[in-house]
Structure 1
């Protein structure tokens, strides 16, 4: 029997000193509990998402030094942990010193073995090939089959020999690669345990998929599998990721026999009878990670940790009376003391009494500080200054004046709120101000640059509008157990209220039809094979029911919204032009986005500012539809 300690730790990126101290404490605890092995996550010492910190040799030397401390602490216990392995005598493909993402195995205060990551992801948030030299690359350099380099680890524990298959994160997601590390290890076995150390960010529903994949791997290998992931928060600048841990143990039949509590640093123990393939432990039920409860947990955990990481404990939130700012306020109020939150209502002449009353009611329900700062006077001053100032051509002495259109006036209002009032008020309050934009708005640039698309963190910017509504109901019903977000704010037509054409009292609101466009925009951004207008028109030409099934929106909705191909195509082209046009420039300058979906804006959604383009296939189908 092996007594295994699972060190599901909060890895702090860029702080190998703090991570090492935590690991040493866990090792001591595990030793006191007579554990045979303690397992830590991938890159437990340095952190994983470090950007070009990986290019700092002084940092690499520190990681090595802290790694030696962990090895020395492996006295009466085997320690398996992730760290960077540096080959100072060689260089990587970038000409810098060679670095490997590695799994270290230590016992009796000495390094027993190192296993190098075979498969390196270079998609979504991952950029491994930029920094690390994989085992696959090593095999090419040595002109030796990679299968010869993927070897089990041999250990003797309490006089008994064990064979471990040690892999790192992506090595367990090998379906689309030419190499299957687990199959190779099994062929070189038999194995007693497969160990997967990971640094795997939370994505809504991802654990359900992982459990299917890893259960199958354990079953096919007829070997128990121990997956150890970290908690905490890491980022690549523009995108912030939460890590839920959710470390899990599968027996040799693929059944889950234990899983660590998500989003919690913990040191858990299991006693694994390897001869029985771990079937000595009863199967357990695991929580679903694709529901609104998981979404709230990830967003709340991310906001709380982000505030702690930047040392911010006060926030100012612009509240309009609408749903996005209400959810943002309720979210932050569930994390910070209410006296550390200032809700600021900034009405103009276009704001209704309805929304002003809802903003006030929200503040009262949450117990937060509240202030009303009208912007009408300053907006009028700015508009008058722009339109009243002569523009002079110094070459010939001619002059003219600019016209402030209604559209420009809308942008002036949004920027006056954020760039002037929210920025100035948050500085005086001693905090930062939030960005309340949702993913639907961010997708098509339905926001004002330096206006409502400003702030220190966009906590809701990876949530579609319908998820924002779901979160509102969850906050009321589950987190607060009462109606803190007024029902009227939930029922209200979404509107920016920047002109009389957006009067909520008259039922006038945003141009985005969220019940349809949420799903259209999601297809543009989140589908693994990214959907384009050509795909949309192809599905549409097969029948609106086919398109609705492909998008996942309500059945019968498209025929309700569009009378025929022409208005449907006009709508499609309008939003595609926004999504691939000006919205790109806005997203590049947006605040960091807290990621929860399968593809978040920022580093996860890598894009360039290119011209709007419609493919030849799209133009062909369009012509066919319009000629019928």
Structure 2
């Protein structure tokens, strides 16, 4: 049996176009002699559809698309389709909706398998929308018994998680025990650093443990904060990798399972985990491109400060959108160094992006003059510093409004964690590109961008980080050294460790407590930040839900 792996990039809610792409791929798979074409989890709706699933009209549209697939299946009598879509069912005690894989062929629905394990951790909230499948059952097809599962159903392998399991069921084991001869998992597994290696080992372990070929199809593309890296794969019964779809791009691959279901090994493919920094770079490029495309934007604007964060953001945007579609604007204030403008100009020239210089000194002094009588008797402080950032934010938003450019904010995870950023200033924007990228990783991205030639001027990488909002200001006047800060933030935010546990690791107690206090009291800022692209195991936003009015 030949199976076509359709690793495609759906648009959430765009059921009609998702359907059109699916039928086109179906036609190509039929021409290639495939008996089955497999799409990713909730492909028809795009993943995650969130509260669209609570709209009856949305489910009606999905069912109409499924009916169209049934109708079109007679055009491809030798090729069935397995596709992810919601399933309405009569369950008065629950939601009445399941996250299902639909097997369609020969003018009818041959089978639908609902998802058994509904994740509610990190960015997932599936129990909000779906009921779990009461059972999993293999289905006969093409001389095989297909054991079909959906995403999380493959992530509860007791041997893979010996110390902690989230569920008391293992759907893959249940399917194998019932006689499945081919295992298929349709998935929408979001990207995070180094996850592709974990995913590879997990799926391969199923194939080896049960001696059953395993077909794994993952979504690719970015939807809001989440980036899906693809990496679909097929293993034979010995755990030999037969096919591996590329990361971060669409792909249609046809795999012949004939050898995979017999005793002799199939023709092997190779798996090499992508370099950590390279994978983050590619994920962010895809995240920017899809966020703009799916939101209806074609151009972006970036404030260029002469610092490394805005430089890296501009480079990623230029790669994602084309240099001609990114506008860089430098806005020097009375405290900006000459280098902040000239370094930005050189970066723009290296990239080929349009570049403007708009001084804000006169606007800043006008603000000070207007506020002078009201602030009389009070010393200048962070208030005056923030005025500069907010003037810049307003200028950039003016360009966004006037020309229809999406403003990309440039703050990194270290700054957002500690509140070292200005509300309605440098936090202004429609997408926060680096909000899940620690400062130390920003430097690594800069070196990766410069791997073949110097795009980001070396002086930008080597200069001491500074917001340049007062004379001689440096980030390290306020923050711990970034390698130390990022290590503490990793332990506190991503690993969830307490202050005491972090101090026991050898970090200075006063510094640890200051960092944690600063993270906690900056939650109100993060609530008002632009959506950010997720690349770590614990990103701010939908995956980290902390109270604002609290003391802990």
Q: Choose from 184, 205, 219 the match for 1:230.
A: 219
1:402 Cα deviation from its structure 2 partner: 7.1
What residue in structure 2 maps to residue 249 of structure 1? Answer: 234
Q: Choose from 77, 80, 83 the match for 1:81.
A: 83
Alignment of 1:448-597 (within 5 A): 448-477=422-451, 481-502=452-473, 511-527=479-495, 530-537=496-503, 539-540=504-505, 544=506, 568-581=508-521, 583-597=522-536
Residues 1:427 and 2:366 are matched in the alignment = no
What residue in structure 2 maps to residue 23 of structure 1? Answer: 22
Contact 1:200-1:230 within 8 A present in 2 as well: yes
Residues 1:151 and 2:137 are matched in the alignment = yes
What residue in structure 1 maps to residue 546 of structure 2? Answer: 607
Contact 1:352-1:503 within 8 A present in 2 as well: no
What CA deviation, in whole Å up to 9, does each residue of 1:586-626 have, x standing for no partner?
0000001011111211101122114342xxxxxxxxxxxxx
What residue in structure 2 maps to residue 206 of structure 1? Answer: 195
Question: Any runs of at least 4 consecutive aligned residues in structure 1 with deviations exceeding 4 A, and if so which?
Answer: 274-280
Matches of 1:402 and 1:287, distance apart in 2: 64
Contact 1:224-1:277 within 8 A present in 2 as well: no
Matches of 1:224 and 1:277, distance apart in 2: 9
Alignment of 1:348-359 (within 5 A): 348-359=333-344
- Taking structure 2 as the reference length, the TM-score comes to 0.94
Q: Choose from 155, 173, 178 the match for 1:173.
A: 155
What residue in structure 2 maps to residue 120 of structure 1? Answer: 118
Q: Choose from 244, 258, 264 the match for 2:249.
A: 264
SS of match in other structure, 1:434: strand
Matches of 2:410 and 2:357, distance apart in 1: 18
Matches of 2:304 and 2:121, distance apart in 1: 37
Alignment of 1:4-19 (within 5 A): 4-19=3-18
CA gap of 1:384–1:570, structure 2 versus 1, over 3 A, is farther
SS of match in other structure, 2:145: strand
Matches of 1:83 and 1:574, distance apart in 2: 47
Contact 1:273-1:279 within 8 A present in 2 as well: no
1:83 Cα deviation from its structure 2 partner: 0.9
What residue in structure 2 maps to residue 321 of structure 1? Answer: 306
SS of match in other structure, 2:420: coil
Gaps of 5+ in 2: 158-164
Contact 1:251-1:278 within 8 A present in 2 as well: no
What residue in structure 1 maps to residue 178 of structure 2? Answer: 188
CA gap of 1:338–1:31, structure 2 versus 1, over 3 A, is closer
Matches of 2:199 and 2:326, distance apart in 1: 38
1:315 Cα deviation from its structure 2 partner: 2.0
Matches of 1:217 and 1:492, distance apart in 2: 50
CA gap of 1:489–1:275, structure 2 versus 1, over 3 A, is closer
Gaps of 5+ in 1: 140-148, 391-400, 545-557, 559-567, 614-628
What residue in structure 1 maps to residue 144 of structure 2? Answer: 162
What residue in structure 2 maps to residue 287 of structure 1? Answer: 272
CA gap of 1:509–1:341, structure 2 versus 1, over 3 A, is farther
SS of match in other structure, 1:595: coil
Matches of 1:509 and 1:359, distance apart in 2: 24
Matches of 1:192 and 1:183, distance apart in 2: 12
SS of match in other structure, 1:154: strand
CA gap of 1:322–1:286, structure 2 versus 1, over 3 A, is same
Residues 1:417 and 2:392 are matched in the alignment = yes
What residue in structure 2 maps to residue 370 of structure 1? Answer: 355
- Taking structure 1 as the reference length, the TM-score comes to 0.83
1:248 Cα deviation from its structure 2 partner: 0.3
Matches of 1:490 and 1:65, distance apart in 2: 54
CA gap of 1:402–1:128, structure 2 versus 1, over 3 A, is farther
Contact 1:496-1:509 within 8 A present in 2 as well: no
What residue in structure 1 maps to residue 366 of structure 2? Answer: 381
Contact 2:412-2:434 within 8 A present in 1 as well: yes
Contact 1:16-1:45 within 8 A present in 2 as well: yes
Residues paired across the two proteins, number? 541
